[in-house]
Amino acid sequence: MNSNCLKVIVLVAMIVAGMSLPVQSQTVQADSIQLKRIYDEILLHARAYKNLEELSLEIGPRLSGSPQAEKSVAWTMKKMKEAGADTVWLQEVTIPHWVRGEKEKGMIIPSGGKKQTVPTCALGMSVATPKEGITAEVVEVYDFDQLKKLGEEKIKGKIVFYNHPFDQRFVNTFHAYGEAGRYRYIGAGEAARYGAVASIIRSLSSSDNDYPHTGAQRYRDSVPQIPCAAISTNAANLLSDLLKTDPKARFFLQQSCQMLDSVKSYNVIGEIRGSEHPEELVLAGGHLDSWDLAQGAHDDGAGIVQSIEILRTLKALNIQPKRTVRVVAFMNEENGLCGGREYALQARKKNEKHVAAMESDAGGFTPTGFGLNMSDSAKAKIGQWKNLFLPYNVWDWSGEEDGADISPLTDGGKVPGIGLYVDSQRYFEIHHAATDTFDQVNKRELHLGAAAMTALVYLLSLHGL
């Protein structure tokens, strides 16, 4: 090769290298400009907070199978159409129908002295007590190991009291919730194994308060179904202190909840069709149902209105996504996950291709990042966009938690899963309690979460994964 040829090759290589860098830089700059437009549009003109006010105050608690849950289906369909979705439809789901019945009664009964009524609520899917209630001595345990050591001899005929508090050492309160949550979820079945007549748990709350927190529990097929309830953290402290000096203290529990026949309901689905790859889907959503003690504003009204805001913002900015953007309001996350399972089942039957699935179900608090439940290669691609979010204080991409409703779809990596991360320090003061109300939601925090979701959905719809 002569020197002239070598010079030409080197010159061409320099030109190609010089061209590639500006193209990449231009792409990042264009993405940055679009994200700024998205944030500006939402922070100035979002409808999410107003929509949440309607959902919370005009419809209210939306327990699966309730009239309010069915009203919320029609409401969500209307809001998706107003947001500008190209198509909106309902996906039929069969869901459980559990009802709480009359207000529960819980009472601490010392061996001598005055009885004290304490805040009590039945756990979801629990059976009722006899009409006259149950009165029995209390056995306090910290964990299942302690329960097993006590055995049938000391538990039979008594009420098991799971006094397992949140571990305050976890800065991520969801870790503390997951660790303590097993005593709510399977505690009744474990207590029944040793002959307990009922079980009560310390509410899954990060603070001491007078509001009992409900939540789903599951019975074991091989043991009797016994009534189970939660008492407030203050009540748990009171009962625990009493048992130290009065081990013969008793507890009275009365509740009339019951399981009715399953009913028909719906997931609500709206989408904006992609211009270049309409067969590729970028999903975002939350769950439409809530517990019946409050308005379900944070859990998960926030996730619903944030997801609808994605549709509204793309339309308002005249952004035509290359891939189809689909928003799903799932039904029955709280006590069955039937909506998520049905969606995944139908998606696989239709051989639908999901680029990614995102969920907001951690409350409408200040967003901090995203959980990435996906392959290392997919994480690496999303990692290229992290710097775009730093101006908006969205910085934490370290975890892998996504969302319960999308878990049947993501299922071990079949679809990349994404969860909106928020500052969760206050969430478990109100989670599943009567305090989960609209007045607990901050407008700006809610809208920042919607903006973070919309920005990531936009990038996924443009670049794929």
Do β-strands 323-330 and 258-272 pair in parallel, antiparallel, or remain unpaired? antiparallel
**Cβ atoms 125, 335 nearer than 8 A:** yes
What span, in angstroms and rounded, lies between the C-alpha atoms of 140 and 389? Answer: 48
For residue 62 the two structure tokens come to: 């939306």
> What is the β-pairing status of strands 134-141 and 159-162?
parallel
Tokens of 335: 């006590």
Measured at the CA of 292, the angle between CA 197 and CA 85, to 5 degrees, comes to: 140
Q: Please, what's the b/e burial string for 154-189 (b: 16 or more CB within 10 A of its CB; e: otherwise)?
A: ebeebbbbbbbbbeeeeeebbbbbeebbebbeebbb
Out of 333, 352, 429, 445, pick the active-site residue: 333
- Give yes or no for a contact between 286 and 297, defined as CB atoms under 8 angstroms apart: no
**Residue 333 falls in the annotated catalytic set:** yes
For residue 294, CA distances in Å to 9, 61, 211 come to: 71, 6, 11
How far does the chain reach from its first CA to its final CA, in angstroms?
A: 43
Q: Which residue carries 């710097």 as its tokens?
A: 387
Task: List C-alpha distances in Å: 284 to 24, 309, 357.
Answer: 28, 11, 6
* 126 neighbors 231 (Cβ within 8 angstroms): no
Q: In 3D, which of 131, 66, 74, 142 has the Cα closest to residue 98?
A: 66
User: Reading across the β-sheet that carries 323-330, which strands appear in turn?
Assistant: 87-99, 258-272, 323-330, 277-287, 353-359, 417-422, 367-373
H or E element: which one contains 154?
helix 144-155
Catalytic residues: 333
